[in-house]
A and B are shown apart, each in its own frame.
Chain A
Amino acid sequence: MIDAAGEALTQVLSLEHVGWVLFGTMVGLIVGVIPGLGGVTGMSLLLPFIFGMDAYSGLALLMGMAAVISTADTFPSVLLGVPGSAGAQATILDGYPLARQGQAERALGAAFTSSLAGGLIGAAVLLATLVIIRPLVLAVGSPELFMLSLLGLCLVALLTAGQPIPGLVVGALGLLAGAIGAAPATAEYRYTFDVLYLFGGLSIVLVALALFAVPEMLDLLIEDRPIAGKVRLLGRRLDGVRDALRNKFLIARSSVLGNFTGVVPGLGGAVADWFAYGMARQTVKGSSKFGSGDIRGVVAPESANNAVTAGALVPTLLFGIPGSPTTAVLLGGLLLLGVKAGPDMIDEQLPLTLSVVWTYAMANCFGAAACFLLTRQIARITTVPPKVLVPCLFVVITYAAYQSSHHWGDIAVLFVLGTAGWWWKQVGWPRAPFIVGFVLAEPAERYLHLSISRYGMDWLGRPGVLVIGALIVLGFVVELMRQVRGRREQQAQLTGVDGQ
């Protein structure tokens, strides 16, 4: 392990590697700052470019990007009250009020400090998890892997979607979309309409860009938020740093919570910040100011949403089952780099895995440093009017989409699926389950088939299967309770802050 860590470190410290991390960090900062665009979009924009790179450099680029999204997405949350990406919504609740009270700099300072701490704690816990989980990995067979896929899909559909039934339906639509083309375990082509373009199936990059980038871009144009002059950066940044340091235990708790939220397949991404916010609200003293500008309401979600990405890497790298929509696209990237997610990642490929950990920590430092030193410049990106930004972005996205299979069908799918994604978004249907379902379709089908032909129906009785099954049931129960409570609140005609 230590040898491998050393080998990974030498790889990581090479000039080329640092260069790729820096480039990824830059892309992550820009994508994160643009409201609505987050890790999924950033990842899909970068995938076409890693073609031909070696695994270390490719992962440096992707992880550099993914690590800083949740640092950068704080800017629009605090300054504009609009989430920079799905994981930055809880930050708005206290961050935006602080900015309006003339303490934007303080909120940002606290956010960057906790982000950095969260990222570093995340990397450390990731490393520890890899060591601890090692003996477990070979005990996991096809039945457990199938159940993990199911768990990921159900949790993302139930808990992160806001609407459980549409969540499940969209997840199933993702499974169907993933089934287009050749079947995994047998020689059969499905849903191809005899169109040659569909024989190879749809590409994850294309699906992700269409569902996550196009609808957000349309909404940016339609909303066309008026930029009230320059964004005003008031308050003192060092106060924020001090605030963060004063709450070091809150940071530690939130980071670890975020990390473990990320480890559960499907949960990483959009809920960790809410979990941390909720926990902070319930556990700290004098929480009555939460929601109207308590700095701890910024510190907690910001440390959590940086740690969550590190956690989501665990199921992604070790089992090939994505922890979040972003890591679902990352899996596509691993495939392009010829790396097979699985037990090999902590065996022969251990140096590569450790390089991911190092890269993640490094990118967090770069990201935080950039945010501190270039606060004004980066904040200015949020003032670029959408009507200038979006056409340029659409060109980039179209050209990037064409790289997925070098076929005009790519651009057609981008447009059609993008329009559908916008429709879903407006009527309250989630989109994240589609991506996760799309990526899980192939492994889930294969593992289910293997489980049945290996164990008959006995696979249902395996202890691992029972444990994961219980978790899935728990997910349903939690969501049901939330629905019932929501119904009751609705009946009581309560209107107020968002019920999450």
Chain B
Amino acid sequence: MRARPTSPLLLSLAMALVITGCAQDDGGGTSAEEGGGEASSDFYDGETVTILVPAAPGGGADATAQFNSPYINEFVPGNPDVQVEHDESAGGIGGGNRYFNEMSPDGYTIFLSAFTTTMPWLVGESAVQYDVAELTPIAAFPYTGMFYVHPDTGIETVEDLPEHAGELVKGGVSPISTDLMFVLALEVLGVREDMQEIWGYGGTGDTVLAFQQGETNFDATTNVVWNQNQQMEEKGEAIPLVAFGFLQEDGTFERDPLLPDTPTVDEAHEMIYGEPPSGPAWEAFQDVMAVIHVAHSMTMHPDAPPDAVATLRSGLSDAIENSDYVEGWQELSPAEPIYEPEALDQAQQTVQDIPDESVEWIQNFVQENYPDEFTQ
């Protein structure tokens, strides 16, 4: 992590890098091209690959793993069987610790590095015993967030939000997990303190369920989970309120193409308060979103055989370039997966480059508002 430049470091999405294919390796690359592995059809021949998901089934991380399973089986040389395993203990941190320290780094287990493990690491939770920066990425999947609300709350558009915030109940895993972007967005919109927040769900899949069961009436989730549960809107059980969209170089957000009529956070702020958002919470939110867009990835253990990484990467680029992979993925999230080694290094660098000021501000913010949920 490095000090914040004069203006917030706003990345042009790594997606752009994928498209232009430009390699701007600033020396921090830790990953495979130095390991010099070679793709080989022997490595996975007749083997089973496990994708370890540090969240409960039914959420975004699970969706990524399930989406990739058939492609790994079809395109990775050797055609390994694929198995998805879930470990949502300690809000996902348990899964990360287990992958890093207990499982054999034999190359047969892929770690789905999700926000449930990346965010606690980013803010320096003491229970974290893994280092996200050391993981070798195989492919990253751009995510973003969104809010939806139950019609019974009387909220129709985001302008009604402040008025009804006191009646809203929201479920989440932990404020230092996927929910970090959500609490920051709610803080920016000035409604966080009025809402009732319940922590301790097993993942975004569980919070959707709690919403459907009427236990909560407001839910914050990733766009992928929303796109899997769109039928709620058709049935009149949910109204999309804010869709975070994708961060642009100028610090504004472009609307999520799959939710073109739903305002982004900055638009929502303008609709409510008549002016664009500013201040440390907004800057922290922007920096966190830059991470959210690139950090969700399939990764390999740092000590895994280089051949494993090379084989998986070659299989995935084959799938992405020669099948309906991208179209299929874009039904879940509109941005294209990141899979070229240079772009992956760049993405990983983005995660590490989150400005120290933002991290410190977030740490103080969480410590102050959620003392039970965070131990530094």
Contact = CB atoms under 8 A, between A and B. Distances in A.
Q: Do chains A and B touch in the complex (CB under 8 A)?
A: yes
Interface of A: 51-52, 138-142, 181-189, 196-197, 199-201, 335-336, 338-340, 342-344, 405-406, 442, 446, 449-450, 453-454
A335 to B, nearest CB: 7
A199 B98 CA distance: 7
B104 A406 contact: yes
A449 B81 contact: no
B93 A338 contact: no
Contacts of B126: 187
B36 interface: no
Given A142-B210, A187-B127, A52 B83 contact: yes
Interface of B: 48, 56-58, 62, 66, 81, 83-91, 93-94, 97-98, 101-102, 104, 120, 125-128, 169, 171, 174, 196, 198-202, 205, 209-210, 212-216, 372-373, 375
Contacts of B171: 450
B48 A52 contact: yes
A339 B66 CA distance: 11
Given A142-B210, A199-B98, A188 B85 contact: no
Contact of A142 (B83, B87, B97, B215): B215
B90 A183 contact: yes
Nearest to A334: B57
Contacts of A342: 58, 209
A186 B91 contact: yes
Contacts of A340: 56-58, 205
Contacts of A185: 91, 199-201
B94 A450 contact: no
Q: Is the interface of B mostly helix, strand, loop or mixed?
A: mixed
Contacts of B87: 200
B89 A183 contact: yes
A141 B102 contact: no
A52 B98 CA distance: 20
A450 B98 contact: no
A449 B200 contact: yes
Nearest to B129: A199
Contacts of A182: 89-90, 93-94, 97, 127
A187 to B, nearest CB: 4
Lowest 10 CB-CB distances: which A-B pairs, in order? A182-B94, A185-B200, A182-B89, A182-B90, A187-B127, A340-B57, A52-B48, A338-B84, A141-B215, A52-B81
A349 to B, nearest CB: 10
Nearest to B200: A185
A138 B237 CA distance: 13
Nearest to B214: A141
A150 to B, nearest CB: 18
27 contacts: A51-B83, A138-B214, A142-B215, A182-B90, A182-B94, A182-B127, A184-B90, A185-B91, A186-B200, A186-B373, A187-B90, A187-B120, A187-B125, A187-B126, A188-B127, A189-B127, A199-B98, A199-B101, A200-B94, A201-B89, A338-B85, A339-B57, A340-B57, A405-B102, A449-B200, A450-B198, A453-B200
B86 A335 contact: yes
Nearest to A335: B86
Q: Which residue of A140, A188, A446, A450 has the most chain B CB atoms within 10 A of its CB atom?
A: A450
Contacts of B201: 185, 446, 450
A215 to B, nearest CB: 29
B204 to A, nearest CB: 13
Q: Which residue of B85, B90, B101 has the most chain A CB atoms within 10 A of its CB atom?
A: B90
Contact of B101 (A142, A196, A449): A196
Contacts of A196: 101-102
A200 B200 contact: no
Given A141-B215, A338-B57, A340-B57, A187 B93 contact: yes
Contacts of A184: 88-90, 200, 202
B198 A186 contact: no
Contacts of B196: 454
A450 to B, nearest CB: 6
Contacts of A197: 102
B90 A186 contact: yes
A453 B195 CA distance: 13
A338 B127 CA distance: 26
A188 B91 CA distance: 10
B94 A181 contact: yes
B200 A450 contact: yes
A199 B102 contact: yes
Contacts of B169: 454
A449 B85 CA distance: 25
A141 B174 contact: no
Contacts of A200: 87, 89, 94, 98, 102
A151 to B, nearest CB: 19
Nearest to B94: A182
Given A200-B102, A336-B85, A188 B90 contact: yes
Contacts of A201: 89
Contacts of B81: 52
Given A52-B48, A340-B56, A453 B199 contact: yes
Contacts of A138: 212-214
Q: Which residue of B62, B125, B201 has the most chain A CB atoms within 10 A of its CB atom?
A: B201
A141 B213 contact: yes
Contacts of B94: 181-182, 199-200
A199 B209 contact: no
